[in-house]
Structures are given as structure tokens and as C-alpha cells.
Amino acid sequence: MASKMENIDKPIDILDDANAPPIAEKSGFLPIETNWFDRLFISVVIWVAMSLLWFRFIEPLGLSIWISNVIALALAAFIIAKG
Amino acid sequence: MKSNTFGWILLAPTIVVLFFFGVLPFLYVVYVSFHQWNPFAANPYMIYNGAGNFRQIVFDGAFLASLGVTVAFVFFAVLTEVIVGYLLAQAFMSDFPGKAFFRTIHTLPLIIAPIIVGSIWKLMTTPSIGIIPHLLQSSVGFDLNIGQSAAAAFIITIIMDVWHWTPLVTLTLIAALVSLPPDPFEQAQIDGAGKWQIFWHITLPMIAPAVMATVFIRLMDALRIVDEVLMLTGGGPGSATRYIGVHIFREVFPRTNYGYGSAISVVVLYLTIVACWLLYTGMLAPRKPRKS
């Protein structure tokens, strides 16, 4: 009976998969809890936004899109490492 | 058998179908978006264009105007649907005579195909034969002509979308409201909380995930509205209701400009994902604890 009560006190979480690899949450400078995929996603979103804005406002001034790509890559590395 | 292996076996058919009918077409659209491709031109083959289509998009006044009216349409339509849907869900939570009948009637628009919804509203809003212009003329003397008035056409497309999709919001919110435990509400009433306080501090936080899921679904649907609007206004008058889906349709099919149309589709997908992600992050994502 006591063992049964123990089981009731600690119900099984059916969504919890013991075999699933743990997701490493990180606490960096971003205001939300993120794993590496979240930070990669944020980096890609920023890269696309930067590219479109670069096409519209900076490229007509003569600066190549590759500068934007390098900045976006550096930013992505920083966000994934420290975000 | 390991539970993981069994899980993968169960998921396999879905993953295979999604890969062939979701992922592959998406990758193909991304591939086409980097090309110039008009299969009916003198050179019907794809010509690699780099980021040329995307470079063209950011200077395309018609696209930017279309994006502007789409954002306005999505904002007003989804906001109205959530508010009206919540009020209807609350109404359906209480008992009143004919509740089952009204709930069935109210759900009927959901099962009508969008192109038919467009036809119905076109018939209802056509001057001289439509019931809405007739009623507005006879009751308040307002002359409704969605073929001439840009504002009227814009508002009618919003009303049509609200009419069509509010039942979905209502059904989702009814499901969320039914699943709420009664204890917090009883405790709040004992503590003397008012209706507004109960709504703001208990009901809304508890149904927030359901509301957000509904907003995501409606946001994605509203951003790619085509058939209803094409049937109702054809994107006019002028470009007043030339929403992004209509713009892509006009670019891809009548002009057979597949490369540029694909690039616009990719940009719209990007904007949709970003909008949903921002909403999720703003409303639901777990925050880091503040350092004191």
C-alpha cells in the first residue's frame, strides 16, 4: 500500500521521454530561455532581415551584400555562443 | 522494442508524406526564387539570377503596397475574430433556449469553401441586386459600391473573413473555456474579485495558449487569403484589396513570372514565421529569471 501511495505522489509524466536527449537550455544575453536551435533560428531571421534591408538602403550606396553576409555570420556566431 | 523506435515507426508515414508534399515543394520554391523563369518566354528555361528577385522585391512599389494592405487586413480581421469569437464562446458557455441550434448555425460558414464564400458575398454586395447595398440605402441612405469605394471594399473583405472564420475561433475558445478548472474562479469570487479582474488575471492567462494557437492559425490563413478576395473584388478597386496572395497570383499565373512569384512567396513565408515567432516570444516563451 505504501509503495502504491508513493507512485501516486510521483505521477508519471507521459510526455517525458526518458530516452530523449536532454535539451541544453542556456542563459546568455537574450531575454528568453533558448536552446542552440532557437539561437540558430534567431540568427537566420536576423540574416534575412539584414539582407533585405541592405538591398533596399545600403547596396544602392555601393556597398556589396557580402559585407552584410559577413556581419550576419559574425552576429550568428556571437548569438549562438553567447545568446 | 524501444519506445523511441516504436514512436519513429508510427511517425514514419506522416514524415514521408510531409517530406514529399511539404518539404520538397518548399525547397523547390526556394530554388526557383533564385532564378528567372518564364516557361512561355522565348527562353523557357530557368536562368540563375542570384538574389536578383529579392533585390527587385524591396524596390517593388506594388509589392510593398500589397504588403501594407495585407498587414492592415490581417490586423483588423484577426483582432475582430478573436474578440467576437471570445464573446460568442462565453455566450455559448451559458445555457439559453435554442443554444444547440444557434451553435450549429454559427458553425456553418466554416464548412463552406472559400470560393463559395466569395461568391455569396459578391452577390450580397453587388449594387442593385445585393441585399446589403439595398438595406444600407433604405435604412441609412448609404450608397455601398465596393467596385468604386476602396474603403468599402477593404471593410467588406474584413467582414467576409470575420463571418467565415470567427466560428473556428469560437470553437477553439469553447474547448479552452470548458477545460478550465472551477477552483480558481470560486476562490476569486470569494475574495471579491470583479468580472473584469477575473477575466484579466485568471481566465485570460489560463486560455492564453489556446488563444495564441488560434491567432497563429488565423494569422497564417489571413496572410495567404486569395480565393475569397479574388472572387469578391478581384483585388480592386485599384489595388485596395490586392492582398499579398492576390498579388502573387497575378504575378505567377497571368504574367507567368514564376521566379519572381516564388521569391515573393518565400518573403511572405519569412514574414509569417517571424510574426508568429514574435507573438510566441512576446506572449508565451519562458522568460529568464531577473537578477536582483
Regarding pTM above 0.90, the answer is no
Kindly compute the dihedral angle of the four CA atoms of residues B244, B245, B246, B248, in this order, to the nearest 10 degrees. 90
Map out the domains of chain B as residue ranges: 33-291
What are the chain A neighbours of B273 within 8 Å (beta carbons)? 45
> Could you tell me if B211 and B168 are in contact, meaning their C-beta atoms sit under 8 angstroms apart?
no
Which pLDDT band holds residue A1 (cuts at 50, 70, 90)?
very low
Task: Please name the residue of chain B whose CA is at the shortest distance from the CA of residue A66.
Answer: B51
Residue type, B270: Y
Task: Give the number of domains in chain A.
Answer: 1
CB contact under 8 A, A56 and B51: no
pLDDT in tens, B214-250: 998 999 899 989 999 999 998 878 888 999 999 888 8
The confidence band for A13, taking pLDDT boundaries of 50, 70 and 90, is low
Whole-number percent of chain B with pLDDT over 90: 50
Closest partner CB to B288 (pick from A33, A49, A51)? A33
Q: Which of B288, B287, B284 is nearest to B209 (CA)?
A: B284
Is residue A79 included in any domain, yes or no?
A: yes
ipTM > 0.90 (yes/no): no
Which CATH fold would you assign to the domain B33-291? Answer: MetI-like fold (1.10.3720)
* Interchain proximity A33–B55, CB inside 8 Å: no
The predicted structure's pLDDT at residue B163: 95
Distance of CA B226 to the CA centre of its chain: 11
Q: Are the beta carbons of B158 and B77 closer than 8 angstroms?
A: yes
Query: Is A77 part of a structural domain of the chain?
Result: yes
Region B25-48: mean pLDDT is 90
DSSP B185-206: HHHHHHTT--HHHHIIIIIHHH
Banded pLDDT at B279 (limits 50, 70, 90): confident
pLDDT of residue B243: 93
Q: What is the DSSP string of A11-75?
A: ---TT--TTSPPP--B-SSSSB-B-HHHHHHHHHHHHHHHHHHIIIIIGGGT--HHHHHHHHHHH
C-alpha to C-alpha distances, A53 to A73, B16, B39, B59, nearest whole angstrom? 16, 37, 31, 11
Q: Residue A14 domain-assigned?
A: no
- Mutate one of B3, B8, B30, B55 to test the A interface: name it (highest A CB count within 10 A): B55
Structural domain includes residue A82: yes
User: Is the pLDDT score of A28 beyond 80?
Assistant: no
What pLDDT, in 10s, does the model give residues B49-107? Answer: 888 999 999 999 999 999 999 999 999 999 999 999 999 999 998 888 888 888 889 89
pLDDT surpassing 70 at residue A16:
no
Taking phi first (over 0 means left), then psi (-120 to 50 degrees means alpha), and beta for anything else, what does residue B178 get?
alpha
Range of the domain at A80: 33-83
Residue B255, pLDDT > 90, answer no
